[in-house]
Structure 1
Amino acid sequence: MTIWIIWGTALLAYGIFRLWYDNWSGPLKPAEIDAFLAQVAGRFEGTGNRADVMRAFLEADDGREFVMLNLVKAQMEQVEDPKTGQMVQGFDLLKRYSKRFISVLFRTGGHPGMVGRKVGGYIDAWNTEADPDWTIFGLMRYRSRRDMMKLVMDPLFTEGHSDKLLGTLATFSFPTQRVVSFYLSPRVTVALVLALLAALTHIALLTSAG
């Protein structure tokens, strides 16, 4: 009976993980898209974003997860902290914004896939703008396009947006979907970890009984 409890608990834990990690609501509906775009209409001005590009992305929703590629040139000079009024490095404000962003991203089923710093100039560049001296890149996994909308509207995210603006000199982002990857999906990783824990507990129980 105890063995069934061990493996049943592992299976239950994995089921709870998948309930959080996967999108169970399907693609966006037209009414959701219209409501979202109406709420963020004023944010497109002065940010380099376009409402028609956003609408096209949302209307093409297939209900699947996606990964946002972000390139960022951080502000390394001193700026005024909007909270304290003190002069701080802009990059510190960007990091403060990132902590808020990650907490909201995690709440909506997303997580960082990879974050790194730039260690050299362009090695290969055809018909593109000159390197603006990017600082960092990030790959952020979103559970769905609906969850991206929820993140944008989250008060914790919007309250920290001023930190992003002060801490960023240049940035661009675009959504992608994985075609080939040699990294294990969290679905596989979590399943393996839970199975390992259950197996070790099973072995320990058998050893103690013997």
Structure 2
Amino acid sequence: MPTLASNYCLLIVLVLIYGAFLFWYGGRGEPMTEDEVTQRLAAISASTGGKSQAVDQVPGEIIAELKQLAASDDGNEFFMVNLIKYRQKALYPPGSDYDDSALAADSRYNRALVPYLLKFGGVPVFVGSPQGRFIDKSGDMEWDRVAVVRYRSRRDLFKMAHEIAPLGVAIHKWASIERTQVFPVAPILSLFTVRALVATILAVIGAVIHFLFFRSL
């Protein structure tokens, strides 16, 4: 019957699309070996020429942070929590042609970052602005932005960093940020998952296509 054949074709297409998504999204793998970490860090350092892209940052500081991040690698997906305090004015190197807006500098960085983030299976999960304080024993840390980014693995983050490093776009990030705290989080419980969301969207698309085109066949 035409209706049955059409429905099967639609189902196969949707399953293939979802399978391709799962392949891209990933999230389960083997951790990097010590040799791999060393090689990837050396490649990232070589891509930047061993220089910092921030006026007030010590050369090699980011490499040290990446090495620390690799120490907890389990090969699986993780979420990076970013707490950000923007500068009053963007701090670019002398002679820069950019304006002094910290938010504009951050936007330049994000526009350059997102395509590479998606290429390596990463997605921004949440971005928000703090609304006052509640329990805050430190008492001296105020943040302008909170962002959570999902990474497919630490290996993919390293690959992304290697490709981005030669572009010099990190200059915009550090020009905009006065201080930041960034730390990885392993998911334990979440009522929101991208896998379930994509499956739901594809199911809805399939139902709509069936209703509009195949129901009367």
Both proteins in one fold, TM over 0.5: yes
Gaps of 5+ in 2: none
1:34 aligned residue: 38
Q: 1:110 to 1:100 in 2, by over 3 A?
A: same
Which amino acid is the alignment partner of residue 146 of structure 2?
Answer: F
- Counterpart for residue 151 of structure 2: 142
Query: Would the aligned equivalents of 1:68 and 1:173 in 2 still touch at CA under 8 Å?
Result: yes
CA shift, 1:177, in A, is 1.1
Alignment of 1:93-104 (within 5 A): 93-104=105-116
Give the RMSD, CA atoms, in angstroms.
Answer: 2.7
In 2, are the aligned partners of 1:100 and 1:156 still within 8 Å (CA)?
A: no
The percent identity for this pair of structures is: 26
Match of 2:100, SS? strand
SS in 2 for 1:88: coil
Q: Structure 2 length as normaliser, TM-score?
A: 0.82
**Contact 1:104–1:156 (CA under 8 A) maintained in structure 2:** no
Displacement after TM superposition at 1:123 (Å)? 1.7
Answer with 80-89 or 109-118: which moved more: 80-89
Matching residue's letter, 1:141: R
* Alignment-derived partner of residue 6 in structure 1: 10
Residue 46 of structure 1 corresponds to 58
Hey, what does 2:201 align to over in structure 1? Answer: 193
Rate the CA distance shift 1:74–1:12 in 2: closer, same or farther, 3 A. same
Instruction: Kindly state the Cα deviation for residue 191 of structure 1 after the two structures are TM-superposed.
Output: 0.8
Aligned match of 1:124: 135
Match of 1:154 in 2: 163
- Distance in 2 between the 1:64 and 1:179 partners? 13
1:55 equivalenced with 2:67 (yes/no): yes
Of residues 89, 92, 104 in structure 2, which corresponds to 1:77?
Answer: 89
| Cα distance, 1:49–1:125 mapped onto 2, change above 3 Å | farther
User: Counterpart of 2:151 in structure 1: which amino acid?
Assistant: Y
Task: Give the TM-score normalised by the residue count of structure 1.
Answer: 0.84
CA distance in 2, matches of 1:84, 1:55: 31
